[in-house]
Structure 1
Amino acid sequence: MAFKVATANRSGGCGKTTTLTSIAALANNDMLEWIKQGWTIRGRKPRILIIDLDGQCDSSYYLGVADPDSLCMVCGERFDDELEPKERQPEDMCDGGRWHEPIPNIMDVLSADTSIREAIRATNLELVDLLPGTKHLEAAEKNLASATGAEFRLMDAVAEIEDEYDLILFDSPASYGLIAVNIFMATDDVIACVKAGMKEIRALVHLEHTIKQINTKLKHRVRPRATKIVAVLVTDAPGSVNHGKAYQDAVNFARDEYGELVVTPVTRDVRVIEAYSARQPVPLYDPSSNAAKAFGKVYPELIGKGVLPSQRTAAGV
């Protein structure tokens, strides 16, 4: 059974995707070492799956699938998905003169138009697969609202493949709508990512309340284990007190409020922006950067908390 972890917060720009892809990159490297030692899990290589549920599709971008809505599943070429039918020219068409079919994405799975196995793709990380996102997530979410069992769609889809993976990571949108409900139903553990500001950290109470409501009203009916916040990661933190006392006070406030849940803060670092442009997770883009070093500390802390698999726990030891 896979470890299932989501990064979450209602605000954007708080490092959810950067954290998620950094964890995936570090886990990928870790598991490659296991393979070198001749180690397998029930006769197969360890595997990681990222499910992109953010309309910006940044996880998809990081992992080599930029703008999934404009990638054709038939010919493999890029196309203009905003082009109106009357504007399409013969040279715009796919093989056989047909219009392009975009690769399946998360909403195709949630709407039951495509099976989860058909939608999963390989990425630029050897052991990491991706269920791509879509920029039309908000509109698709509204259509999903009237579907039977809408809150359980992601949980049911993940159940089909979770024994084939050892770590499943969910990238969340900056809202607590139906997509977030699906995520909190499907996942076990949540890493709360929050910027180093007093206002932002105080707002985590909304995330706590949302998860509690979902556990109470929905999840207890179908699964015995409640979803919980297992770590609080302060991002964009100052490198030193001299860089901003208010920010340092916010980090200290987080530790006062959440105690041992708070892991090593990730410091402000221009390499994070550069890594995104290079379409590489931070630990791979520049392992010597301050942000990469911080994630290098966060990763074993999460393993120690039982949030991420180690070689022993993945084997069920």
Structure 2
Amino acid sequence: DLDWLREGLADMFITNFSRSKQLNVLSRQQLYHLIERGGHSQTDTIRLDDALEIARKTRAEVIALGSYVRLGEKIRIDVQLHSAQNGQPLASESIVADQPQDILAQVDLLSFKLAAHMGAAPEVEESRTKLDGLMTINLEAYRYYSLAVEKAQALHNEEAIALLEKAVALDPQFAMAYGRIGYAYAVTGTHAERSKPYLEKAFLLSNHLTEKDRLYITAWYSIAHLDYPAAIAPLRKIINQYPLEAEAYFRMGYLLRGERQHEEAVRVLKQGLVIDPEDKDIYNALGLIYLDINRYDEAIAAHQRYVELAPKEPNAHDSLGMSYQCARALPRGHHGIQPGARAQPAIWHRCLPPW
């Protein structure tokens, strides 16, 4: 079953291109969100017109579109590079893997060729570190990892962790799989203690990580230890070195809020919106920070935008209702909560007068 390669191949190329200091590459998570906002699922075929729209929103310069086909045991992979400005073809390359186990090595070769077409041929040091050295030599382990990332993006943490455990069982040297388990426990989950052994294992295998992944894992490890200033430092480096990483802006904004550095948090989140003007999570975070510093009109505006971007999410309506409540300006007929949704009493209480 090679259906997972629809997302898995994209992840492989993103990892490879990210090694070059001359390229800024959209992360798989950002790409997933942009495709979803365009009304597509991850299993849909993305046409050039759709890709051009994504490129316009992210100010990308080059688009890579590809396909694969299985012919017996062989797998052929074709990739075309297009100008993001007008869609004109820039280059195309293809490879044939004689068997599925050869895919990782062949994707390495194809990535180097494509990077050269983009004027980013790898330096000698970069070319020595291949995908199977950065991630895994085991294609089945990579399959579990790719499926786990998909589950994690949908916030299905338990399923993601189960798949990642299978990945590290097949390849005990799979550093990023350990890192992702730690992330699921400590960052998107609430089990910081459980995360620590996995993040420590990822550190021990840091020679199998890209520089960006090392920085992320450093931040996650600090979050697991509740050392938020230490977590902010690597996120700041990610923003400086990889400015398209919307996740870093969002995470850093929340951490700065926790450290009561509200003005810097606002500045960082606004930078994130320059990168991704439709990031609903950043608008929610921005609105909450404005509430903290009593800038109610701006909080309402941010949460109104959150509702516009995510009209079916109960939390969006909760956030907007909370902003109105804090501003003592709850509009008639708007209670901020959709049917079936539950507000968080502790959060609402701080906005109510002490009667």
TM-score w.r.t. length of structure 2: 0.28
TM-score w.r.t. length of structure 1: 0.31
Higher alpha-carbon Rg: 2
